[in-house]
Amino acid sequence: MKLVANNNTAGNPTVALRWCLVPEDIVYLEDNNIFNPHILLIVVNNKKEVDRQLLPVSDLMTYISFNHSGNNTVLATIVWHKDGLKKLRNYYIGKGKYGYENNFYNYSTDTLENTDSYGLDSLTVNISTDFFAPEPPEWEKSWVNLWFENKPKDQCQFRKRRILAYSIQPPLILLYVIFLVFWRTLVALFWFVIRTRTKVNFIPIIHPFKADNEDVWFEAERRGRNIFLRDKNFSKRNDYKLAGILFHPIAVIVFSAILIVVDLTIIKIFLGWWSYLLGSLAVSVAIIIIVLIIFVVGIVGIWLVGIFKNWQKKSSKDKHMLKMRRQKEKEAKKSEAIKLANEAKKLTQQAEFDKLKNEFSLVSCDNGPIIPKLKALPKEKRTIHLRFLDLKARVCKPFAG
């Protein structure tokens, strides 16, 4: 296979990249019935992988947006997977929490490894620092990227975020700040008044974006002291220990609750003490009725369980035979379904391979010079996706990585 890049980028770090297959590649694909060949592109800058793309070989061309200055090496190889496109994508471009799940670039040998692939080619594109889009002002970057963890890759992504930042974001941020200030105030009061701890930090209340919620109680939990129970030297108070416990806010709240309950109870007794006598009689009768109901239900339940067990013993043999027959029928249906699915899969693969054979003439390097431009592609290959990438390459410059 061969790679060709459009070096006439006119100061643009987004470069058109086109590929073709030599006759040996086409013969290998046909002989091995590889019906879903894709091209794996890995971009390396300073011995480190910085980007990766997986595209059908029949696409003929793509665009690569470089985010790092200097020499960028593009490594390409033909890959496939016997279990279909989903497995292929998961293996080569599947991502986890910390990036791509599988690594294929070996920086010590500067080549690809651990790939079920055929063929290898590479090219180097030099990107100057002047090619990248100018950075926006710092204040605007902070506001536009407020709700995003990663910086925008290009101007188009920044413009999308800017629309959000100057339309929906201001009222939402206002509501968020009000809620955050209210929540942090409650938390600070809880630690300062209820738990009576020192070193409670009130600064996060007036600086909602410069501090986290945890900053309110972090120092109080680890280095603060309870002013009612310990002195400045963190020793237990012995001089007025009892007074400190009695006048602690938690003790005051508990005592207040007890007094309220007592007060309400006294009022009820004063208004109608005779109602307690009638209430006690009603509760006693209700308890007796409930006990009788439970007793009757228990006896009936035991009788029904005995009848059910006798019936179950008689019918267990018939059920076992029925279960075995149903299991055999289920296995037969499953076997037939697998057989039909395999036949359908083979027909689909053959149809895709026949379609690919018709396109080998377009992918072949024997069709003349390979020009990495959209207009140079066959008309049927100028897809809407490629037209979009071509337009994006002209109006959306990447930011420096």
Q: What is the pLDDT of residues 187-216, one digit of tens each?
A: 888 888 877 788 888 888 888 888 888 888
Mean pLDDT of 375-391: 91
> Tell me, what's the pLDDT at 387?
93
Which tops the pLDDT comparison, 170 or 337?
170
Q: Say how many residues make up the chain.
A: 401
What is the DSSP secondary structure assignment for residue 78, as one 8-state letter? E
The answer to whether residues 76 and 121 touch, using CB atoms and an 8 Å cutoff, is yes
**pLDDT above 50 for 271:** no
> Tell me, what's the pLDDT at 229?
72
How far, in Å, CA of 173 to CA of 223, rounded? 33
In the chain, % of residues over pLDDT 90: 27
> Tell me, what's the pLDDT at 319?
66
How far, in Å, CA of 256 to CA of 127, rounded? 74
Mean pLDDT of 287-297: 70
How far, in Å, CA of 132 to CA of 128, rounded? 8
Which tops the pLDDT comparison, 232 or 108?
108
Fold entry, domain 2-132+366-395: Immunoglobulin-like (2.60.40)
> Tell me, what's the pLDDT at 171?
93
3-state secondary structure of 227: coil
> What's the pLDDT band for 349 if we cut at 50, 70, 90?
low
> Tell me, what's the pLDDT at 273?
46
Mean pLDDT of 258-284: 54
**pLDDT above 60 for 278:** no
> Tell me, what's the pLDDT at 8?
66
> What are the pLDDT digits (tens) for 11-64?
889 999 999 998 888 888 888 878 788 999 999 999 999 999 999 998 899 999
Mean residue pLDDT across the chain: 82
The answer to whether residues 184 and 213 touch, using CB atoms and an 8 Å cutoff, is yes
> What are the pLDDT digits (tens) for 300-329?
878 887 777 777 666 666 666 777 777 887
Q: H-helix or E-strand containing 307?
A: helix 274-363
